[in-house]
Structure 1
C-alpha cells in the first residue's frame, strides 16, 4: 500500500544498518507481507463499470487506459459533454489503479465534488462513502473502503502540509485544470516535483480544449488525448443592453428600442427577463440556464423572473452553498420546465441536464490584486471568449440549442481570448507563507506554469515581513509558522496569533470566522430601510467587532432554541443569509479545532452559555483588548476605519472591520 511507504522505508533502513539482526529483518518482512496482502485484498474488491457507448470518451477509452499504464502523466482535453469528468476515474480502475492507494479526483468547487461523486457512485452501483466518497470543506464522506475520492483542490493542498508524499494516493486526477486557479497552479507545480521522487504515482490532467500544449510541456511533453464533445448545433443570438439587438424579430426590436429610448440602456435583470420572455414565446417547454455573477444577483433575478409567472415553470438557483436537497432539484429534473440561475460553477464543472437555452450576460466576479491598495478585490468583469464559448456549450446537449448573449457581437470579438490565470492577478502573501511552511523554497524558483507578477511577489514578501511572519532573511518566524497552520487570510491569521497572546482568543475566533466569509447581512435594494433597522439591533457604537460578537450571540441563541425551519425564518426576518450564517458557524468550528491543535485555549470564556455570546468581561476592557489584538494584523495598507461614516445619508460611528466592495471582509483596525 502506498500509505505504508514511509513505515516500510524506516524498517528497511533499520535493517540495512544491521543486516545480521534477525529481529529487524523479520519486522520489515512482516510489515511488507501485510501491506502486500492488504493491497491484494483491496484489488479483489475494486468496483468496475463500463463507459457508456454513447459518450464520446468511449471511443478513446482503451487508448487512455494504455497511456495511464505507460506514462506517469496523461493530459486529456475534452469538450463539454465528452464524459471526461465521470468516466476517467473508471478508466483508472481499468488501468489497475486504486489497489495500492486512493484514486484522488480534484474539482475546483465543492458543489461539483459532491455532485460528481454521487454520479460516479450511482454508475458503479456502490453506496456513497463506500467505494466512492468525497471530502469538501466541513464535510468528510470517505471511508476505509473508499477507492475513488472526490475533493476540492484546496483539500488536497491541505493534505500536503501533513503528508508531503501524498502517500494515500496511487493516482491523482486534476480536473478542470484550464481554470488555472491559484490552487490548481500550485498543485501542478508541486506534482511536477513530487513525480521525481514518486515513480509509482500516476497523474491525469483534464481540461477543456484550451491551451493543452502548455500542460503537456510542463510535464515533460506528456501525451495528450483529445475527446470531442457530444451535442447538437448551437445558434447564438446577441441581445445587447443598449437596446440595439441583432437578428431580433421586428416587433421585439421595436419594443426594445422603446425601452432604450425611455430608460437608456437596460439593466442586466431587464435583459434577462426579456430574453426569457422571447424564449417562452417561441418554446414554452425548453429548460433555460442563466449565468449570473453571484448569489445576490441570483436572488434579484429570481425575484424578477418569479413575477413573470411563466406557466408550468419553476425558477431554481444553483450555487455552492445550496443544500444538497436544493441542488438535487437542479440535477434531477421533474416534469416542469425549469429556468436555472447559476454562477459560473455551471460553466465547466457541472452539467445541468436538459438545457436547451443559455442566457449569458457575459459577466463574472474576478479576483484581482491591486498593487496600489495591496489587497485582493472582487470585480464584476466581462468574461473571456473562452468562457463565453464554454457557457454556450452548456446547451445543445439534448437537441439544437440557442445561446442568448446580452452583449453585442463586436463586444464578444473584442474580448480577451482566455481568462488570465489567478497566479497573475492575485495577492501572493498566503502562497509564499504556505510554500515556506512546506519547505518548497522561494516562490521565485517554484515551477509554476507561468511565473507570477514580480510586483505581487515583492508585495507578498513585504506584507509577511510587516506581519512578523518572516525575518530579514525571509525565513519563517515562530509567528509565521503558527500563521501557516490557520486556514484563513494571512492578516486574519496574525490577528488570531495576537488574540491568543492577549487572552481574547474566544472573541477573535468569532470575528475572524466572520471576516473569512462573505458578509451574511443582506440589504435588498427594495428593503434597505427594513434591513438597516434589523441590523441595528446588533450594532455597537464602540466597535464593529463588538457588533459582530452581538450578532454571533443572537444567532447562537436562536440556533440552540429553534428548529431548522424556524432558524431560517429568524434569519430572513433579520435580513441574514441563512447559508452564510451556517458557513460562519462552520468556519468558527474549524478555526476552534485548529486552535486546540496548536495548544491554544479559550477556556477563560467558557461558562454556562458554552460557545454563545461574548465573554463575561467589562465591555470597555473587552473592546480595548480586541483593538490591541487586531492591530498586528494590520499592514501599512490596511483600511483605517473612520470614527464616523455616512450610511444612506445618516451619520453612523463606524469603527472596526470594514467590508470590501465585493461583500467579503477587508481588514480595518479600530482607532
Structure 2
C-alpha cells in the first residue's frame, strides 16, 4: 500500500455472527495452512473473511465465487466496506471482464478464472492466500481447485487456504486437508416448524400443494409463501391450481432461471396483500427472496446429470438431498419463526442421501482433463479430488477430447498428450467444444461469424417468452427462422432490409446443404445482425424500447456484445485468422467440429406421439444408441431433415435436441475423419468403372452417416481386388469391353459352350476356376481393373499367349461330336431350324424345332420320334425303362440293349415310316425273339429333354409350342387354314349360293413349297371355298359344303313331305329339341341331301360345275322321298322318346337308372341330331330309344339284373371316355365315333334282350375296338 491517501479502512460489522470469531480465525490462519470456516447464509463469512486475512498479515488474497454475479457484487460490497474504489485495493475478474490494478490485494474471481491462471502460473505465486467460497456446492471447478491446492501446499508452505462452506459435510473438507481445523459460525435464523404431509395414494402433487395452501392461508399472521417445484411446467400447473382456490388477498409469482429480468425482479418488489412465490431450486441459495415466512417443498428438483452411456447431459426430476431440503426449509426462518410443509413423509426424508452428489460425479470431465494435461498436472486418475470421479466419467472425458482432436491416440497406460489443436483449446477460456468451433472457423474463413454464434450459445437466450405473452413473442421471433439465410427481420414499425449471408464459394457439393441451411444456429446470426442494425439506427432509449416491444432482452444482448468483443480479443492474441466471411454451410461445418457426438439420423419409422392431434415427433438415432426428438420450439421441429446436429441433448420428459440444424455427410467427413468408423463390405466388380469397388459404410459413434456407397477396393486390398477383377470381370464376363483379346476369348468360349450345351456335356467346358487359373498365371500382379489391364497388355510385345480357341475351352476336344447335333432337320425339301437348350428341369430344356405355321400340315410325328443322333441312344434307353416290369427286366442293362438295338437297325435299315418305338420293338424281336406290344411303350414318361419341342411361328410371332405334333396340327388347323387361304386368295371364295368356283383342284402349291387342299365349306346360308391344311380336313369340310350347296340349288321338298305326314308324326315332331318344326324339317332335308350325295359316288370327285350339276339333278329327283324317310325315322325316335319320358316318372329323381337313361336319351336326341348322326346308325335311333322303355319295364321286375348290366356298361363307358380324352381337339375320327354306337348296341343287348342288335356285340368286343382305336 504505497498510496496512503487511499489506504482501506478495515473494520468488522458487530451485527454479523462471524465478528465474534475474528480473532480465533485470524490466529488459525497464522498457525495452519488450511482453515475450514462453516457458516449458514447471513453469517458474514463471505464479506468478512478477506478482511480477517488482512488482519492475519496476508498480503495478496484470491477469493473465488461459484457465480459471476456473486464475484461482482461481493467485490463491490467489500470495496464499499473498505471505503475504496472497486478495481484498486479490491478488484474482481470474471470471464472476459477484469477490474483490477497493481494495487489490488483482494481479488474476487470465479473459480474458473483461478483455474485458467494455473496454465500460466502453476504455483499461483501471485497469491499468498486463497479463499475457496461456497465449497459446499461442490461444483466441478471447486473440486478441482481443492485437489490442486492439496498438491500445491507442500511446495508452498507459506500459502494459506481458507475453505468456506455452509454447515454441510465440513468433515469431508477437513479430512481432505489432513484434518484441517474447522470453525463453525452460527447464522441469523429463527426456529422453523417442519410439517410432513405425504401425499395420499390417490392424490398427486397439485392436490398436496392446494391442501397445504389452504392450511397456510388459514394460519393467522403475515408473510409470503415460497413453494419449491421441479420445473417450469410444474410452476405453471401450480399457479393455475392455486389461482383456482380464489384465496382472497393472495397472488402468485413465478421464479425460475429462464424468466426475463423484469419478471424475476417482481419477486423483490413491494406488493400489497400476500404472495405465493413458485420457484425452482434457484431459490435455495442463489437468491434470497424477501418476506418469506412459509415454505412448501414438493421435495424434487431437476438435477443436471451426465450419462456416460449416452453422452447426454440430462435434467431428470429427482428427490433432493437432506441438505437441500434443509436449505429450503431455512428460507422461511430469516424474518422470524417459520413453517415448512414437506409433501413427503419423514421416513422418505430420512432415507434420502445427506448431501447432493458433487458435480464432478455427474458431469463431463473434458475441460478438467484438458486443463490438467496442458498444465502438466499428471493423470486425472491420480489427482487428489475430494471425491474421485468414477472411471467411466474419466474415460468419457478422454473420449470427448479425442472427438475434438485435442489429444493424440494413446495406448492404455500412456500419458495423455495434447495435439496442436488441444494446446490451443487449453488456452481458450471457454468449453473445449466451443473452442473447437472457433478453431475450425479460423481455418474455414468464418471466424467472425463463429465468434457471434459461440458467444450466443454461452449466454441465456436473448429472445424472451413472458408467460402471459408467449404466443405473441413466438410469432415475432419466428421471423428469424427464414430458411436459406435470408430473414425478413423487419418489425411492424420498422423499415429494415432483409438480412442475407454470403453465397457459398467452397468445394462442398451444392446438394450437401438443404434449404434449412443453418437452422437454429443461423437464427442466432439473424438475431445478432438484426440487433446490430437496429442499434445503429435507433437512439439508446428507442433501442431499449424496441427490444422490450419485440421481446428481446437488452441486457443479455449487451452481454452478448461484450462476449463477442472478448472472444475476438482472445482470438487475436492467439493469432487466429479472422479474415473473410464464410457461407452458412461453412458455419455449420465449424459448429459440427465441436458437436460430433450430437449428430442424429432420422428414423421415420420411429415416431413418438404428441398430445392431442398434433403431428407425431420423428425420432432420431443419436450417438451410442440414444434416441431423441427435436424440441418443439426449434425452427426445424416441423421438418424432418435426414441428418441433424444439436447444440445440446437434454433429458426431461424425454431426450430433446435443442438448437438444431441440418447437416450433410460431407460435413461430417470434413471435420470428423478421426472419429469415423469406415467399414468396407461386399467387394464386387463394377461394370460401370471396370474396377472392383466395395460398399463403404461410415458410422459416427454408431450413427450411420453413409449407409453404403461405392469406393475403390484395390487401394487397400490389391490382391483381393485382382482376384475379383479376373474372376468376375473377365471370367464371368461382367466387364463390358471391346478389347480384342477379351472379346476373342469370349467368342471362343461361347462357341465351346454352344457345342457342350448341344451335347448336354457341360462337364467338358472349362470351369470358372480353370479359366481363372489361365488368366491368373498370365496377367501381371498390377492388373486389378480394366484400365490396368489395358495398360499392362499394351506393354506386352506379343499377346498371343493370352488368346483362346474353342478347343482350348474344353477339357477333352476329342469328345466334341458336332455332326450328331445338327442345327437343321431335313423334312422333304424343307430344313427346320434346330436349337438346343441345356437347362435341366426347365420347360425349354432339350431340342427345339421351329416350324412355320403354313408347313405344319406337311409334317408327321413319326420322323421326330427318332430325336437327333446325339440323343438317340439316351432316348432309346429311356423308352426301354418305360416298359412294364415284366418286359423291362428282359432288357437289362437298358443302355446296353439300347445300343445293340440301334446298331442292328443301322445295319439292317428298313426304318422308313417307323417310329423309334416301333423300330426298337422290331430290333429286339430280331435280337431276342421277345415281342414288345405297341401299347407297352410309354414315350410320354421319358424326360422332357428327350422329346423334341415344336415351336410354331407365324412370321416372327410364336403362335404355339408343344411336344405333340398331331395335337398342334389339330389345334392350329383354323389358323393354318386361314393362313393358307390368305396365301391363296385367288382361289378362295365366300357367300356363294351356286357353283361359281370353276374347277377346284384337289391340292395347290403355295409359296415356300407349302401344299394346300381346297374344299367347299358350309356357311349355313351359303358356301365358301377355303384351302385346308390337310387331306382329312379338306374331305370333311368338302362333304358338308356340298350338301349345303345341294339344298341351295334344289327346290325344297318340305311342303310335299308335310302333306304326306300322319297326324301322329306331326305331333311327334313338335316334341323335339329343335327350335321349331321347320327347323327340324330343314335339317332332315340336309341329311337326305348328304345321303344321296354319298350314294352317288365319292364327294371328293365333285370338283367342277358339270359334276356338281349332274349330282344335283340326281339328288333333286330322289330328295322328296328320301327326306320323307328321314322324317319318318325322326318321328319314330321322338315318339319313343315321349314313351321313355313318361316311363321315367316311375323312378325317383336320384335313382341311378333314371339318371343313366336321362343321360343316354340326351346323347341321342340333341339339337340337330338328324344331320349329326352318321349312317348307318341314324336308322337305329328308334330302336335305341324304344330299348330304354323295355329296360325300365324289366327293371321293375328284376332290379338287380339291371344294376349288374348298368355297372358293366359304366365300365365300358369309362374306357371310351379315356379314349376320347386322348384324341386331339376337333371332330372325332369315324372309327372312334363308331364305338359310341357299338356301346348303344351293347345297351340293347344287355337291357332289351328281346330286341336284335345290328352287329354282334359284347363288352369284350367293344374294348377290343377301343384298344384298336388307340
Q: Which category of TM-score, normalised to the shorter sequence, fits these structures?
A: 0.7 to 0.9
- Which whole-Å CA distance do the structure 2 matches of 1:577 and 1:296 have between them? 22
Q: What does residue 48 of structure 1 align with?
A: 10
Q: What does residue 428 of structure 1 align with?
A: 365
**1:455 CA displacement:** 0.8
Q: Would the alpha carbon gap of residues 437 and 272 (structure 1) be closer, same or farther in structure 2, given more than 3 Å must change?
A: farther
Structure 2 counterparts to residues 355-370 of structure 1, below 5 A: 355-370=292-307
1:543 equivalent among 518, 533, 538 = 518
**1:183 CA displacement:** 0.5
Q: What does residue 131 of structure 2 align with?
A: 173
Q: Would the alpha carbon gap of residues 519 and 335 (structure 1) be closer, same or farther in structure 2, given more than 3 Å must change?
A: closer
Q: What does residue 663 of structure 2 align with?
A: 670
Q: What does residue 392 of structure 1 align with?
A: 329
1:501 equivalent among 439, 443, 446 = 443
- Which whole-Å CA distance do the structure 2 matches of 1:117 and 1:319 have between them? 23
| Secondary structure at 1:140 match in 2 | strand
- Which whole-Å CA distance do the structure 2 matches of 1:225 and 1:503 have between them? 56
Are 2:397 and 1:455 aligned?
Answer: no
**1:332 CA displacement:** 9.1
Residues 115, 141 of structure 2: 8 Å contact kept: yes
**1:216 CA displacement:** 1.5
1:638 equivalent among 598, 603, 606 = 598
Structure 2 counterparts to residues 408-419 of structure 1, below 5 A: 408-419=345-356
Q: Would the alpha carbon gap of residues 477 and 418 (structure 1) be closer, same or farther in structure 2, given more than 3 Å must change?
A: same
Residues 660, 666 of structure 1: 8 Å contact kept: no
Residues 363, 382 of structure 1: 8 Å contact kept: yes
Deviations 1:56-97 (A, max 9, x none): 333333211110111111011223443322332232222122
1:625 equivalent among 556, 569, 586 = 586
| Secondary structure at 2:117 match in 1 | helix
- Which whole-Å CA distance do the structure 2 matches of 1:351 and 1:84 have between them? 16
- Which whole-Å CA distance do the structure 1 matches of 2:286 and 2:5 have between them? 30
Residues 112, 350 of structure 1: 8 Å contact kept: no
- Which whole-Å CA distance do the structure 2 matches of 1:657 and 1:640 have between them? 8
Q: What does residue 188 of structure 1 align with?
A: 146
- Which whole-Å CA distance do the structure 1 matches of 2:266 and 2:55 have between them? 32
**1:558 CA displacement:** 3.2
| Secondary structure at 2:369 match in 1 | helix
Deviations 1:255-277 (A, max 9, x none): xxxxx7xxx6244xx86677566
Structure 2 counterparts to residues 460-609 of structure 1, below 5 A: 460-473=397-410, 474-521=416-463, 530-539=472-481, 540=483, 541-544=516-519, 545-562=521-538, 567=543, 570-571=546-547, 574=550, 576=552, 580-605=556-581
More deviation in 430-439 or 484-493? 484-493
**1:219 CA displacement:** 1.5
- Which whole-Å CA distance do the structure 2 matches of 1:518 and 1:288 have between them? 28
- Which whole-Å CA distance do the structure 2 matches of 1:497 and 1:601 have between them? 9
- Which whole-Å CA distance do the structure 2 matches of 1:532 and 1:184 have between them? 39
Q: What does residue 219 of structure 2 align with?
A: 282
**RMSD of aligned C-alpha atoms?**
3.9
- Which whole-Å CA distance do the structure 2 matches of 1:429 and 1:448 have between them? 15
Q: Would the alpha carbon gap of residues 425 and 266 (structure 1) be closer, same or farther in structure 2, given more than 3 Å must change?
A: closer
Q: Would the alpha carbon gap of residues 310 and 82 (structure 1) be closer, same or farther in structure 2, given more than 3 Å must change?
A: farther
- Which whole-Å CA distance do the structure 2 matches of 1:373 and 1:265 have between them? 31
- Which whole-Å CA distance do the structure 2 matches of 1:330 and 1:231 have between them? 21
Q: What does residue 265 of structure 1 align with?
A: 204
**1:623 CA displacement:** 3.0
**1:224 CA displacement:** 1.4
- Which whole-Å CA distance do the structure 1 matches of 2:567 and 2:334 have between them? 43
**1:546 CA displacement:** 2.9
More deviation in 330-339 or 584-593? 330-339
**1:354 CA displacement:** 4.9
Deviations 1:574-599 (A, max 9, x none): 55555554544443333222211211
Deviations 1:129-182 (A, max 9, x none): 454443334543445544333322222222323333333322211111111110
Q: What does residue 59 of structure 1 align with?
A: 20
Q: Would the alpha carbon gap of residues 44 and 656 (structure 1) be closer, same or farther in structure 2, given more than 3 Å must change?
A: closer
- Which whole-Å CA distance do the structure 1 matches of 2:541 and 2:227 have between them? 28
Residues 16, 43 of structure 2: 8 Å contact kept: yes
Structure 2 counterparts to residues 105-504 of structure 1, below 5 A: 105-239=63-197, 242=199, 265-267=204-206, 278-282=215-219, 285-291=222-228, 311=249, 315=253, 317=255, 344-348=281-285, 351-352=288-289, 354-473=291-410, 474-504=416-446
Q: Would the alpha carbon gap of residues 542 and 329 (structure 1) be closer, same or farther in structure 2, given more than 3 Å must change?
A: closer
- Which whole-Å CA distance do the structure 1 matches of 2:213 and 2:543 have between them? 34
**1:343 CA displacement:** 5.1
Q: What does residue 972 of structure 2 align with?
A: none
Residues 308, 392 of structure 2: 8 Å contact kept: yes
- Which whole-Å CA distance do the structure 2 matches of 1:141 and 1:559 have between them? 27
More deviation in 163-172 or 65-74? 163-172
Q: Would the alpha carbon gap of residues 524 and 318 (structure 1) be closer, same or farther in structure 2, given more than 3 Å must change?
A: closer
* Count of equivalent residues: 591
**1:502 CA displacement:** 1.1
| Secondary structure at 2:585 match in 1 | helix
Residues 250, 273 of structure 2: 8 Å contact kept: yes
- Which whole-Å CA distance do the structure 2 matches of 1:515 and 1:346 have between them? 25
Deviations 1:348-381 (A, max 9, x none): 4565555422333333332211122223233333
- Which whole-Å CA distance do the structure 1 matches of 2:310 and 2:384 have between them? 28
Q: Would the alpha carbon gap of residues 653 and 593 (structure 1) be closer, same or farther in structure 2, given more than 3 Å must change?
A: farther
Deviations 1:190-226 (A, max 9, x none): 1112222223221101112222222112212211122
**1:385 CA displacement:** 0.8
Structure 1: which 5+ runs fail to align? Answer: 1-37, 245-259, 606-616
| Secondary structure at 2:9 match in 1 | coil
What is the TM-score normalised by the length of structure 2?
0.42
- Which whole-Å CA distance do the structure 2 matches of 1:398 and 1:271 have between them? 26
Name which structure has the greater RCO, CA cutoff 8 Å, separation 6+.
1
**1:346 CA displacement:** 4.3
**1:472 CA displacement:** 2.3
| Secondary structure at 1:480 match in 2 | helix
| Secondary structure at 1:162 match in 2 | coil
Q: What does residue 73 of structure 1 align with?
A: 34
Q: What does residue 639 of structure 2 align with?
A: 652
Residues 111, 320 of structure 1: 8 Å contact kept: no
Residues 430, 490 of structure 1: 8 Å contact kept: yes
Q: Would the alpha carbon gap of residues 285 and 110 (structure 1) be closer, same or farther in structure 2, given more than 3 Å must change?
A: farther
Residues 395, 401 of structure 1: 8 Å contact kept: yes
Q: Would the alpha carbon gap of residues 666 and 424 (structure 1) be closer, same or farther in structure 2, given more than 3 Å must change?
A: farther
Structure 2: which 5+ runs fail to align? Answer: 411-415, 484-515, 616-636, 665-1270
Q: What does residue 871 of structure 2 align with?
A: none
| Secondary structure at 1:604 match in 2 | coil
**1:559 CA displacement:** 3.6
Deviations 1:79-128 (A, max 9, x none): 3443322332232222122xx32x22222123333343344344444454
Residues 319, 342 of structure 1: 8 Å contact kept: no
What is the TM-score normalised by the length of structure 1?
0.76
- Which whole-Å CA distance do the structure 2 matches of 1:330 and 1:526 have between them? 16
Q: Would the alpha carbon gap of residues 284 and 566 (structure 1) be closer, same or farther in structure 2, given more than 3 Å must change?
A: farther
**1:537 CA displacement:** 1.4
